[in-house]
């Protein structure tokens, strides 16, 4: 106990208390869809992490400090980092975690952030898909963003490393080395995917004042065994989460259309709904006005129209706060 800081044990006990509180509250509510599991012992070598606090602001000496590309951790001292802390302010806490035999520091900084005033009125509709990750429609037209699909690209190497790991003797040193190589490949897949999602989400919230997206059900799509791997490789839920918090930080309004909004089946020219549109049909022609449509571009245009009507239709409130409502029809 003397070899580690006091915060490591304190936060472990607090996390255990929160886990038991969630477990007992969910056990009293059997109607909940996904109740919390009973807390179990944390296995060594799996999600290794600990947290350190900096104490109150009135303390003269602080245990956590950051100077350039290094950080001071209690009981450990100064540790080099690959990059400096990007925010100015008082450090509240830091969480040290290990992933793929590499250590990461997640620093919580107390700082001030002012939501910028947006004078532009650009509106965009964003449709997500498997073949093309995102199709964005604005006043200038439609443009598409392809997903890197790191899992599909590195799947042969991933299978090879899995086979090599299973052939090693359990609890041997070679087995540990093979697990580290496998973990690094998984980390690379995750990092490539997150980097692409962050770049696209940041570009959207900075370029547009209002963004309309649809309320997808990734869990339901994952139940289809034909597209489950491709859907998991795209991370629709993570992209929506990034859009939600980045929109609030940049003063962008995020309008979420209803899950049953027929964005792909609705003709953006005349409003005709093609109810017999197949799941894999990319090109279709409207039976009412004979307009040819691309499935993704048509859906993005409809989402843009729905977002603009939800914001400006007759002075109505539309979808309410960013990311919390659904697209409403014109008032």
Q: Kindly tell me if the per-residue pLDDT of 177 is higher than 80.
A: yes
Residue 311, both tokens = 């914001």
pLDDT tens-digit readout, 278-301: 877 888 888 888 888 888 888 899
Instruction: Establish whether 101 is a catalytic residue.
Output: no
Instruction: Establish whether 214 is a catalytic residue.
Output: yes
Q: Kindly tell me if the per-residue pLDDT of 18 is higher than 80.
A: yes
What pLDDT is recorded for position 316?
38
What pLDDT is recorded for position 28?
67
Nearest to 242 by CA among 323, 328, 326: 323
Nearest to 142 by CA among 327, 303, 307, 310: 303
What pLDDT is recorded for position 322?
40
List alpha helices for the chain, DSSP H: 6-27, 150-166, 173-207, 218-222, 228-234, 236-250, 295-312
Contact criterion met (CB below 8 Å) for 252 and 210: yes
Q: Kindly tell me if the per-residue pLDDT of 150 is higher than 50.
A: yes
Q: What share of the chain is helix, strand, coil (3-state, %, to 5)?
A: 35, 20, 45
The length of the chain, given as a count of residues? 331
CA distances from 246 to 56, 209, 304 (A): 29, 12, 19
What pLDDT is recorded for position 320?
40
In the chain, the largest separation of any two C-alpha atoms, in whole Å, equals 77
Cα separation, 213 vs 282, whole angstroms = 19
What pLDDT is recorded for position 35?
75
Q: Kindly tell me if the per-residue pLDDT of 324 is higher than 70.
A: no
Classify each residue of 183-222 as buried b or exposed e, where b means 16 or more C-beta atoms within 10 Å of its C-beta.
bebeeebeebbeebbeebbeebbeebbbbbbbebebeebe
CA distances from 275 to 167, 207, 214, 287, 304 (A): 52, 34, 18, 11, 21
- Indicate the pTM of the whole model: 0.82
Active-site residue among 127, 138, 233, 297? 127
Instruction: Establish whether 26 is a catalytic residue.
Output: no
Cα separation, 99 vs 183, whole angstroms = 8
What pLDDT is recorded for position 258?
84
Residue 228, both tokens = 């489950």
According to DSSP, the residues that pair with 78 across neighbouring strands are 72
pLDDT tens-digit readout, 196-243: 999 999 999 999 999 999 888 888 888 888 889 998 999 999 999 999
Residue 76, both tokens = 């450990």
Phi, psi at residue 237, to the nearest 5°? Answer: -65, -40
Q: Kindly tell me if the per-residue pLDDT of 330 is higher than 50.
A: no
pLDDT-based confidence at residue 328 (cuts at 50, 70, 90):
very low
What pLDDT is recorded for position 285?
86
Residue 80, both tokens = 């080099």
| Coil, helix or strand at residue 166 | helix
Strands 134-138 and 141-145: antiparallel
- Please enumerate in sequence order all residues whose Cβ is within 8 A of that of 280, keeping only pairs 6 or more positions apart, or say none: none
pLDDT tens-digit readout, 24-61: 887 667 666 677 888 888 888 888 999 998 876 666 56
What pLDDT is recorded for position 33?
64
What pLDDT is recorded for position 314?
37
DSSP per residue over 56-93, as a string?
-TT-SS-S-EE-SSEEEETTTEEEE-SS---S-SEEEE
Average pLDDT along the chain: 85
Q: Kindly tell me if the per-residue pLDDT of 175 is higher than 80.
A: yes
Q: Kindly tell me if the per-residue pLDDT of 325 is higher than 80.
A: no
Active-site residue among 138, 233, 296, 297? 296
What pLDDT is recorded for position 331?
35
What pLDDT is recorded for position 137?
92
According to DSSP, the residues that pair with 123 across neighbouring strands are 210
Q: Kindly tell me if the per-residue pLDDT of 149 is higher than 60.
A: yes
Active-site residue among 53, 138, 214, 233? 214
Residue 222, both tokens = 């994952």
pLDDT tens-digit readout, 63-78: 888 999 999 998 889 9
Residue 284, both tokens = 């279709």
């Amino acid at each position: 106990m003397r070899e580690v800081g006091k915060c490591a044990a304190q936060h472990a006990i607090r996390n255990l208390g929160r886990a038991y509180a969630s477990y007992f509250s969910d056990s009293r509510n059997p109607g909940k869809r996904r109740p919390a599991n009973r807390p179990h012992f944390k296995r060594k070598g799996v999600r290794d992490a600990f947290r350190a606090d900096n104490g109150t602001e009135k303390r003269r000496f602080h245990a956590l400090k950051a100077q350039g590309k290094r950080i001071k951790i209690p009981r450990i001292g100064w540790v080099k980092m690959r990059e400096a802390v990007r925010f100015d302010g008082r450090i509240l806490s830091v969480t040290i975690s290990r992933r793929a035999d590499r250590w990461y520091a997640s620093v919580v900084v107390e700082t001030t952030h002012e939501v910028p005033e947006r004078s532009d009125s650009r509106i965009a509709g964003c449709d997500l898909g498997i073949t093309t990750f995102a199709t964005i429609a604005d006043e200038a037209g439609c443009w598409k963003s392809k997903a890197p699909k790191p899992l599909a690209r590195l799947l042969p190497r991933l299978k090879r490393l899995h086979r090599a790991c299973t052939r090693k003797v359990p609890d041997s040193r070679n087995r540990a080395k093979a697990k580290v190589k496998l973990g690094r490949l998984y980390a690379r897949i995750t990092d490539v995917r997150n980097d692409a999602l962050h770049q696209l989400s940041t570009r959207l919230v900075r370029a547009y004042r209002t963004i309309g997206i649809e309320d997808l059900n990734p869990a339901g799509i994952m139940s289809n065994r034909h597209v489950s791997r491709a859907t998991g490789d795209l991370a629709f839920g993570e992209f929506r989460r990034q859009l939600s918090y980045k929109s609030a930080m940049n003063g962008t309004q995020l309008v979420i259309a209803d899950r049953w909004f027929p964005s792909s089946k609705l003709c953006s020219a005349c409003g005709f709904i093609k109810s017999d549109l197949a799941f894999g049909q990319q090109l279709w022609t409207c039976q009412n006005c004979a307009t040819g449509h691309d499935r993704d571009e048509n859906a993005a245009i409809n989402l843009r129209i729905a977002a603009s009507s939800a914001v400006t239709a007759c002075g109505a409130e539309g979808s309410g706060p960013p990311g919390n409502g659904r697209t409403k029809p014109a008032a």
